[in-house]
């Protein structure tokens, strides 16, 4: 099992450009998440999904959109990148136990994005 | 909104020394998790504590959940360079709420 994979690993964008980050998991997990990590601020939840075809906003959703068309994939889009979106982005997934959230999150290796 | 404070923010010690890092909140945790994140990688779960006063051990790491469930500590005995990383605590509500982490460097 590859676990959670993210592409690309690094990206540099100019202000106003758009891009999509791809997250894939091969563990058949129901839940998937996108976080950003900035120095001194810990992980902040951008969007999450509790199943195929469903998405919801997290703590810092502005400027981002997501889609989960397939259970194993969770896409994060930046329509018009801004320097404030320079960050490391992590995708995570988690599973259910008896229909309830298991709490344990499995993380991908991250995407380092710089917006100039 | 629950806020998690981790202390210290940064700790650099010699191999073989002992250390303790802390995670505190102004409100009660339902449950708490500790993760370790190595440079260039995502966080990896170390332990989940659920019951006030609970103590869990993972080799040289000892995790304690405060009796009032508003604080937790991680103690490392005889630290090794492989323990280097960012240690994050996360409180479990309907989602995880994360502390900013303690960056730990163990020098050989």
A10-30: per-residue pLDDT in tens? 999 999 999 999 999 999 999
Indicate yes or no: CB of B42 within 8 angstroms of CB of A4.
yes
Q: What are the CA-CA distances from residue A104 to residues A10, A23, A30, B42 (Å)?
A: 26, 18, 12, 13
CA–CA min distance A15, chain B (Å) = 25
For A:28-57, CB contacts with B below 8 A are 40-45, 48
Q: What are the CA-CA distances from residue B35 to residues A39, A53, A77, B41, B43 (Å)?
A: 17, 29, 27, 12, 6
Q: Which of A42, A45, A107 sits opposite B42 (nearest CB)?
A: A107
DSSP string across B19-64? EEEEEEESS--SEEEEEEE-TTS--EEEEEE-STT-EEEETTEEEE
Interface A-B: count of C-beta contacts within 8 A:
45
B1 touches chain A (CB under 8 A): no
B85: left (phi over 0), alpha (psi -120 to 50) or beta: left
Q: What is the pLDDT of residues B45-90, one digit of tens each?
A: 999 998 899 999 999 999 999 999 999 999 999 999 999 999 999 9
């Amino acid at each position: 099992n590859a676990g959670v994979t993210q592409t690309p690993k690094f990206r540099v964008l100019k202000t106003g450009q758009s891009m999509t980050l791809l997250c894939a998991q091969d563990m058949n997990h129901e839940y998937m998440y996108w976080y950003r990590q900035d120095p001194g601020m810990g992980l902040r939840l951008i969007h999450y999904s509790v199943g195929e075809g469903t998405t919801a906003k997290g703590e810092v959703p502005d400027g981002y959109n997501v889609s989960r068309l397939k259970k194993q994939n969770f896409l994060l889009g930046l329509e018009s990148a801004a320097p404030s979106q320079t960050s490391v982005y992590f995708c995570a997934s988690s599973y259910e136990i008896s229909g309830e959230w298991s709490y344990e999150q499995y993380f991908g290796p991250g995407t380092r994005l710089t917006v100039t | 909104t629950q806020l998690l404070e981790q202390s210290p923010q940064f700790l650099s010690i010699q191999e073989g020394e002992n250390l303790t890092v802390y995670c505190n909140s102004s409100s009660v945790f339902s449950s708490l998790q500790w993760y370790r994140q190595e440079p260039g990688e995502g966080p990896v779960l170390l332990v989940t504590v659920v019951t006030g006063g609970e103590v869990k051990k993972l080799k040289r790491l000892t995790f304690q959940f405060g009796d009032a469930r508003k604080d937790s500590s991680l103690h490392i005995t005889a630290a090794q360079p492989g323990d280097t990383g960012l240690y994050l605590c996360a409180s479990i509500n309907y989602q995880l709420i994360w502390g900013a982490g303690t960056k730990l460097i163990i020098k050989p």
